[in-house]
């Protein structure tokens, strides 16, 4: 097995990552790190997730995350109803000094999002029309045979990771993971992010209806973020295990 993997790495090392792939990869990397940092700051200010169109501290949360001092702080005066109907909207004065860094957090998040969308669009279009996805990312039909799928899963579970090829030659699980990220998770992150913008949904109300409201879009945005964070963690671990120096050299210098 080790000889076969080493031989495969020597054969595949003749082909390198295209320059446009390397450039967009590192721009997206920096933007994603900025999005993770700023998104976590935004979430710390209000660590509660809802479903539907409305959500605030006086509405029961779908999920509440213990990630800041704002978690279940309970610092409110007695609620006051707006109308005589007790089931109607209510108001209350906050008596607790909450963590709130929303201003710069949202500004950085919005800026970093454009640094993801623009090079991501370039990568997507170049990959489709240049044949990159067809040649390197999309799994071929013969690769999806149950026996081959199980063998690749078993090799990864046993940490039998092939050495880095230094080029765009990926295993079956890599191809499936990259395809899901590029064509499902990343577009879902962008669309749910846009659905939380009143300026965008005023022009495209159908986008808001697609996700069932502002708060539903925010919740989907969060769980998609968690899935992408897990992908990035596994991706970095695989880079280290398959030959960190060679992988970094291939993705920077192309050699």
What's the whole-model pTM score?
Answer: 0.82
| DSSP SS3 for 101 | coil
Instruction: Kindly report, residue by residue over 16-59, the tens digit of the pLDDT.
Output: 888 888 999 999 999 999 999 999 999 998 899 999 988 887 78
pLDDT in tens, 95-135: 667 778 788 989 999 999 999 999 999 999 999 999 999 98
Q: What is the largest CA-CA distance in the chain?
A: 79
Cβ atoms of residues 27 and 115 within 8 Å: yes
Token digits for 69?
Answer: 């001092």
The pLDDT of residue 60: 85
pLDDT beyond 50 at 11: no
pLDDT above 60: residue 236: yes
Q: How far apart are CA 18 and CA 11, in angstroms?
A: 18
- pLDDT at residue 2 greater than cutoff 60: no
User: Exposed/middle/buried for 189, CB within 10 Å: 0-12, 13-18, 19+?
Assistant: buried
Residue 202: per-residue pLDDT: 93
Strand segments, DSSP code E, in 127-180 are none
Whole-angstrom Cα distance, residue 88 to residue 150?
A: 55
Q: pLDDT exceeding 70 applies to what percent of the chain?
A: 84
For the chain, the average pLDDT equals 85
Query: CA-CA distance, 151 to 239, in Å (whole number)?
Result: 20
Helix ranges (DSSP H) in 17-145: 19-45, 102-129, 132
Q: Which structure tokens are listed for 31?
A: 């933007």
Question: What backbone phi and psi angles, to 5 degrees, belong to 16?
Answer: -110, 165
Q: Identify the pLDDT of residue 75.
A: 65
Contact 116, 122 (CB under 8 A): no
pLDDT in tens, 184-221: 999 999 999 999 998 999 999 999 999 999 999 999 99
Question: Cα separations (Å) of 218 from 63, 74, 213, 234, 252?
Answer: 12, 23, 9, 25, 35
């Amino acid at each position: 097995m080790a000889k076969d993997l080493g031989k495969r790495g020597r054969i595949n090392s003749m082909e390198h990552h295209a320059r446009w792939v390397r450039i967009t990869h590192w721009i997206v990397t920096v933007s994603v790190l900025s999005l993770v940092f700023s998104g976590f700051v935004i979430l710390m200010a209000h660590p509660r997730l809802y479903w539907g169109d409305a959500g605030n501290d006086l509405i029961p949360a779908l999920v509440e995350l213990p990630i800041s001092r704002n978690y279940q702080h309970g610092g409110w005066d007695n609620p006051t109803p707006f109308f005589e109907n007790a089931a109607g909207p209510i108001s209350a004065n906050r008596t607790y000094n909450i963590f709130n860094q929303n201003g710069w957090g949202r500004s950085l998040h919005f800026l970093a999002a454009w640094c993801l969308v623009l090079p991501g669009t370039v990568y997507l279009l170049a990959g489709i029309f240049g044949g990159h996805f067809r040649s390197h990312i999309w799994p071929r039909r013969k690769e999806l045979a149950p026996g081959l799928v199980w063998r690749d899963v078993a090799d990864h579970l046993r940490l039998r990771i092939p050495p880095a090829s230094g080029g765009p030659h990926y295993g079956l699980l890599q191809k499936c993971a990259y395809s899901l990220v590029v064509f499902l998770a990343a577009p879902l992150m962008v669309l749910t992010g846009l659905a939380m913008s009143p300026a965008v949904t005023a022009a495209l109300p159908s986008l808001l209806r697609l996700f069932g409201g502002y708060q539903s879009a925010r919740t989907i945005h969060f769980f998609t973020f968690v899935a992408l964070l897990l992908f990035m963690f596994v991706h970095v671990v695989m880079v280290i295990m398959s030959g960190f120096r060679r992988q970094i050299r291939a993705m920077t210098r192309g050699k």
